[in-house]
């Protein structure tokens, strides 16, 4: 398993992380097996959010409850892993988002809830889950200072923020924002499509995110990629999907060459980019965790990377 320095600091982690969103519906024993499989594959970074899981009995945040219980079964110590969680979303009983909240009181309360549910002593990183139109950077700064001074949170980041939003928040903080967590993968390539279509007038030339990729590289922010095997946002996986025959044929050829799974090749495609991203995988299947994580050690050739990009339905001008 290769590593990445988070946010250009000396904080070094596996460049593949396991997201625990789906733990809320699993038996604790199955969660423990997923954690153990990740650890065996070299993954030492777990990503969560206080909104993950809505068990009928445990309520909202059940993924973190199960994660904490499963950790005890694994016997892993706190020094064996990094733990990151996100805060700032509200959802109703039907899982429909009803508001974003980056207020001081909410962030402080959210962290206390995360620590209580998981049973961990501190967060290695707290991430604001979505841009909040009512966000007051000065208020967020007070919350971050309190959380860091208390030892509850060591580092901070954002998710789904564009460059202007990052810069606005960063202007008020005493801490550096180390990560921006966004969707990226072979069927969600907007961050790089724009680069190829500079000074053109086709759809690919539309700048949807304010040049996020270049901004993060210039400011040494680690891009954490969520849903790397999904098409659309949550439409489904493109792996072994009959809707994407060319992409799957290309993935299969390279999987055979490197003697790994298609998932590993799709993951290796992300990590081949020089931005030194960190890929968040969300499967709870121990075999799939190991299969996907194997992509960390594969370095695709330049032509293989571009062949996959084209097979995914993209064009080069």
| Residue 316 within a domain | no
250: which residues sit within 8 A by CB, 6+ positions away? 307, 308, 311
Is 194 among the catalytic positions? Answer: no
- pLDDT higher than threshold 90 for residue 286: yes
Whether 168 is covered by a domain: the verdict is yes
Could you tell me if residue 157 is inside a domain?
Answer: yes
Per-residue pLDDT of 127-171, as tens digits, reads: 999 999 999 999 999 999 999 999 999 999 999 999 999 999 999
Q: Identify whether 26 is part of a domain.
A: yes
pTM of the entire predicted model? 0.96
Catalytic option among 52, 100, 215, 231: 52
Q: Which domain range does residue 283 map to?
A: 3-311
Q: Does 317 map to a domain?
A: no
> CATH code at 297?
3.20.20.100
**Do 281 and 215 form a contact (C-beta atoms < 8 A)?**
no
- The number of folded domains in the chain is 1
Q: Quick: pLDDT tens for 192-249.
A: 998 899 899 998 888 889 999 999 999 999 999 999 999 988 789 999 999 999 999 9
């Amino acid at each position: 398993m290769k590593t990445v320095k988070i946010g250009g600091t000396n904080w070094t982690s596996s460049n593949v992380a396991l997201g625990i969103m789906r733990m809320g519906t699993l038996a604790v024993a199955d969660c423990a097996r997923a954690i153990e499989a990740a650890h065996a594959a070299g993954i030492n970074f777990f990503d969560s959010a206080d909104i993950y899981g809505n068990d009928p009995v445990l309520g909202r945040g059940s993924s973190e409850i199960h994660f904490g219980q499963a950790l005890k079964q694994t016997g892993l110590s706190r020094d064996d892993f990094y733990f990151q969680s996100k805060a700032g979303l509200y959802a109703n009983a039907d899982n429909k988002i009803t508001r974003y909240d980056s207020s001081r009181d909410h962030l402080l309360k959210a962290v206390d809830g995360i620590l209580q549910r998981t049973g961990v002593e501190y967060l290695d990183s707290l991430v604001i889950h979505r841009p909040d139109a009512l966000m007051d950077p000065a208020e967020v700064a007070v919350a971050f200072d309190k959380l860091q001074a208390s030892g509850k949170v060591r580092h901070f980041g954002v998710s789904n923020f564009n460059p202007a939003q990052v810069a606005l928040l960063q202007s008020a903080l005493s801490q550096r924002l180390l990560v921006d967590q966004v969707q990226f993968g072979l069927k969600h390539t907007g961050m790089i499509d724009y680069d190829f279509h500079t000074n053109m007038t086709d759809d690919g030339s539309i700048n949807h995110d304010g040049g996020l990729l270049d901004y993060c590289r210039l400011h040494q922010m680690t891009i954490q990629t969520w849903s790397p095997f999904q098409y659309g946002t949550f439409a489904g996986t493109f792996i072994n999907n009959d809707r994407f025959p060319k992409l799957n044929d290309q993935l299969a050829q390279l999987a055979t060459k490197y003697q790994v799974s298609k998932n590993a090749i799709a993951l290796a495609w992300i990590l081949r980019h020089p931005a030194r991203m960190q890929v968040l995988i969300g499967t709870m299947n121990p075999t799939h965790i190991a299969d996907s994580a194997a992509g960390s050690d594969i370095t695709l050739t330049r032509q293989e990377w571009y062949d996959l990009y084209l097979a995914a339905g993209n064009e080069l001008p």
